[in-house]
Structure 1
Amino acid sequence: MTPPLGIQLYTLRNQLAENFEPVIRRVAEIGYAGVEFGGVYGESPAAAKKLCDELGLEIFSTHTPTPMMENLTLAVDTANVLGVKRVVCAWIPPERFATIDSIKAACEELNTANQVFRGNDMELLYHNHWAEGYVVDGKYVYQHMIDFLDPTVNLEYDVYWAKTSGVDPAAALRELGKRAPLLHIKDGPATMDGDMTAVGDGTVDIAAIAQASKDTAEWWIVELARCAIDMMEAVAKSYTYITQQGFAHGR
């Protein structure tokens, strides 16, 4: 059974800020099974939840406000209104991964936040960028993080940023196993500042990602930070490619 295909709405942040409802309706029309929020772009969480329910879009997770530790109450309240049980810390500054001690301190903050979320019947995950693929004391930062994080804190693993930092994302997914239930799927040149592409048009070996995560991925999530073509076109092309290849399924 393939995982369902969702989209991180940060991908369409500019469009959502201008005209929220038509953009969400277009996401549903394309066929996406669910959405991950990263803010509600001027809407109330209750209105966003009502619209997604109407359209049959599952809200499977949401990113916490940044910085997370200063916004835990808001994160819990928003997740409750959206009806989600998974919340994702989307960003820790790269300088916090410079040494073993700083990595451990960052993970201790995540563990502290995790207790708050678990107390509200929620699960905390962490989303990597490029710095988690750097090597510190002979190991990748993400490997140190797995050592320091509570076993209930899993990863939302971004395969594009992993590749950008020099990590083989498929190998990392085989290593992480069930610690990476959510996957962010991007494509493009895998450079720090290059424009991304629709999934399937870039350098990421998407088939290898599918094979490596076939027994562990619970959601595939398209997320593009910027793109060489119209973003909605890229969102539709990504859906078509992923579903036609049988890597994940829509509604």
Structure 2
Amino acid sequence: MSDQIVPPVAAQLWSLHEDAAKDLLGVLERVAEIGYTAVEPISLYGHAPSAVRAALDRLGLGVCSMHVPFPSGEDAPAVLDACQELGVETLVWSLEPEEFGTLDGVVAGARRINRAAANAAARGMRIAYHNHFAEFVNVFGGRRAYDVLLAELDPAVVVELDTYWVAVAGLDPVPVAAGLGDRLEFTHLKDGPATGMDDYMVPFGEGTVDVAAVARANPAVRWSIVEADRSHQDMYALLRACYDFLVGAGLATGRRPVDTGGAS
């Protein structure tokens, strides 16, 4: 990646949500064994944030960010309390697809996110926006809903680009990622047929997404996050293959070295 700083690799725990609901701490151990440097949780499954934090510290895992509803309503204090105790710096969430059906819906959604950003900032945390594909399909006056949303958001709101859903929307995620500049701090990387929300993911390099080009697209990215919404393969094997792809090619850094010396 020439002089570009290579970002560390994290695992989005949605990939393992069924196992995590039964044994979150066991899942964390297996993710650490693969070599991931951090996780992006979606839930603590009833565990106290302090207990999860202790497990992460023991395993040498960080929390790159956490998917949690925007702290903009009456639940905001509880959301922020839990994230603060866990040591989360960036809270990530999305608007609903129907909110992109009208221009007014996009603007109203942006205002809600901005309230969340102000609430998070008061606690020393930030908000990041995670896309699906409605943001790129809906267009108003020649402007994609995603561009409208970013223009309406407080500049303090950063971006987590799910590059796979960009591909599902029919766009090339490489120029999309490159065009986001310094605002793009997190990427979700996944591979598959890129046909819809019910796709089954495959190891990097076996689907239709040029994951290597996406990983190189924007030097501002701080975290490359591997996610597989669903797969016909064993999910731990899939996460290991994706880790090996990124780290072995020098596209991300991890805790376990990958032997690229060829056959023994």
TM-score (norm 2): 0.90
TM-superposed CA distance for 1:210, in Å, is: 2.0
Matched, 1:209 2:214: yes
Q: CA separation of 1:216/1:207 partners in 2, compared to 1, >3 Å: closer, same or farther? A: same
Partner of 1:130: 133
Partner of 2:194: 190
TM-superposed CA distance for 1:32, in Å, is: 0.3
What CA deviation, in whole Å up to 9, does each residue of 1:142-173 have, x standing for no partner?
Answer: 11111110100111110001110112211111
Matched, 1:24 2:24: no
Partner of 2:260: none
1:11/1:225 contact within 8 Å kept: yes
Q: What is the aligned-residue identity percentage? A: 39
CA distance in structure 1 between the aligned counterparts of 2:19 and 2:243, rounded to whole angstroms: 18
Structure 2 unaligned spans of 5+:
256-264
Partner of 2:54: 50
CA distance in structure 1 between the aligned counterparts of 2:162 and 2:143, rounded to whole angstroms: 18
TM-superposed CA distance for 1:66, in Å, is: 7.2
Aligned residue pairs, count: 249
Matched, 1:104 2:107: yes
2:70/2:91 contact within 8 Å kept: no
1:99/1:136 contact within 8 Å kept: no
What are the residue-to-residue correspondences of 1:64-75 with 2, within 5 Å? 64-65=68-69, 69-75=73-79
Partner of 1:145: 149
Stretches (4+) displaced over 6 A: none
2:188/2:227 contact within 8 Å kept: yes
Q: CA separation of 1:65/1:111 partners in 2, compared to 1, >3 Å: closer, same or farther? A: closer
CA distance in structure 2 between the aligned counterparts of 1:96 and 1:67, rounded to whole angstroms: 18
Secondary structure at the aligned position of 2:64 is classed as: strand
The two structures, once aligned, show a CA RMSD in angstroms of 1.5
CA distance in structure 2 between the aligned counterparts of 1:242 and 1:69, rounded to whole angstroms: 39
Partner amino acid for 1:139?
Answer: R
What CA deviation, in whole Å up to 9, does each residue of 1:160-203 have, x standing for no partner?
Answer: 01110112211111110111101111111111122111223211
Structure 1 unaligned spans of 5+:
none
